[in-house]
A = this chain, B = another copy of it.
């Protein structure tokens, strides 16, 4: 069954691989129009998912992520139109050179081929991922969660019809309608037909994919991000950066989870940061030094008490109004702590010292390393890449925001006139 999807995807990919920008943009515009035109049908399908969610006791937060209304569908269509305006990443000459024997070699960007996307509750991922895949010349096999199956099925149906209307093979977009665990595992091992797998969702999903996939994976998303307030920090700036990185949107992967403060500025910085975080009722856990500072200061505002951090705390991505705090003796100790506990997503140093900033940025091995800015900027839109399909935390192929250029492979074209070895 899933193999059939694979066969059809490979077949559709043969044409999509060499489709022109005009053809691809026409298909995308058709998708955007169709989503808006079919809003009522999509909302109707979504209502079934919502009802199932309520029946199954789904949390309010998850129900909200699942819900589609006209405004959100228009947002999805706008997302597709945004992809239309992005440059076509296919067929760019990345390098070109001539060898002494006269061979001319061109390194040219090409689509990856067939991309499998495994994702959780949010149905808007269906159109996001399909649009990015199509523009970058990749056929896509979407496998969403069972919570959104009615919405996803309808959205996929609408998109496929819209693509077909422009004369393109509709199998460039396919949805796995079977949402059992078996269908997920089958997709992860469909090496003959799937070139790359991108999981989008929580740590559990991502680990399951990393563990079970034999298809190459681009790992995304888990962010145990650190902000380190250095000895030479501007403390007021540090307060703003920590507050923003933690509370601007705590549920996303580029939110900060752990705060490190140099001992020389710990007293002033921690009290100010704690008082600011209290505005959003952020719960703190800390090491003994941090607890001592807060217990012994008479400038601490009322708010949550700080608890002692366990070893698990240092490794935890809370995705919530909670943060761990550690006082470090040296920049070295901060870097070592990050080596040990970071997931390689985003880390920040707040400092006025160029030397210390450079040491931190050279030695911390994460996708994005910041000096004096919030970790919340690790995002395709904020980087100016346009849309993104996720944030890669692995080092192979793509690191950081995965935009259209990251959805490309390349090939070498070699022009000869009879050369032999």
A residues sitting closer than 8 Å to B (CB atoms) are: 14, 17-18, 97, 99, 103, 105, 110, 112-113, 191, 195-196, 210-211, 214, 216-219, 234, 237, 240-241, 243-245, 248, 339, 357, 361-363, 365-374, 376-378, 382-384, 394-397, 399-400, 409-421
Q: In the assembled complex, how far is the CB of residue A149 from the closest CB belonging to chain B, in whole angstroms?
A: 28
A369 touches B413 (CB 8 A): yes
Given A384-B97, A396-B396, A396-B397, does the pair A241, B418 have CB atoms closer than 8 Å? yes
Given A216-B216, A365-B110, A411-B367, does the pair A418, B99 have CB atoms closer than 8 Å? no
A195 touches B367 (CB 8 A): no
From B191, B411, B413, give the contact of A365 (CB < 8 A): B411
Tell me which residues across on chain B come within 8 A of A411, comparing CB atoms.
Answer: 365-369, 399-400
Smallest Cβ-Cβ distance to A414: which chain B residue? B370
A374 touches B417 (CB 8 A): no
A365 touches B216 (CB 8 A): no
A414 touches B369 (CB 8 A): yes
Tell me which residues across on chain B come within 8 A of A216, comparing CB atoms.
Answer: 216-217, 219, 394-396
A368 touches B195 (CB 8 A): no
Smallest Cβ-Cβ distance to A11: which chain B residue? B339
B421 touches A365 (CB 8 A): no
From B105, B218, B362, give the contact of A18 (CB < 8 A): B362
Smallest Cβ-Cβ distance to A400: which chain B residue? B412
Tell me which residues across on chain B come within 8 A of A361, comparing CB atoms.
Answer: 413
The complex places the Cα of A275 from the Cα of B22 at a distance, in Å, of 49
The complex places the Cα of A399 from the Cα of B395 at a distance, in Å, of 16
The complex places the Cα of A244 from the Cα of B101 at a distance, in Å, of 15
Tell me which residues across on chain B come within 8 A of A210, comparing CB atoms.
Answer: 191, 214
Q: In the assembled complex, how far is the CB of residue A314 from the closest CB belonging to chain B, in whole angstroms?
A: 16
The complex places the Cα of A99 from the Cα of B374 at a distance, in Å, of 14
Given A196-B395, A412-B368, does the pair A374, B113 have CB atoms closer than 8 Å? no
The complex places the Cα of A214 from the Cα of B378 at a distance, in Å, of 26
B377 touches A103 (CB 8 A): yes
The complex places the Cα of A373 from the Cα of B102 at a distance, in Å, of 10
Given A216-B217, A363-B14, A383-B105, does the pair A377, B339 have CB atoms closer than 8 Å? no
Given A18-B362, A191-B210, does the pair A396, B237 have CB atoms closer than 8 Å? no
B397 touches A397 (CB 8 A): yes
B371 touches A416 (CB 8 A): yes
B113 touches A415 (CB 8 A): no
Q: In the assembled complex, how far is the CB of residue A323 from the closest CB belonging to chain B, in whole angstroms?
A: 16
A374 touches B17 (CB 8 A): no
Kindly list the 8 A-B residue pairs having the minimum CB-CB distance in the complex, ordered from nearest. Answer: A373-B416, A244-B420, A395-B409, A397-B397, A373-B419, A216-B396, A372-B416, A237-B418
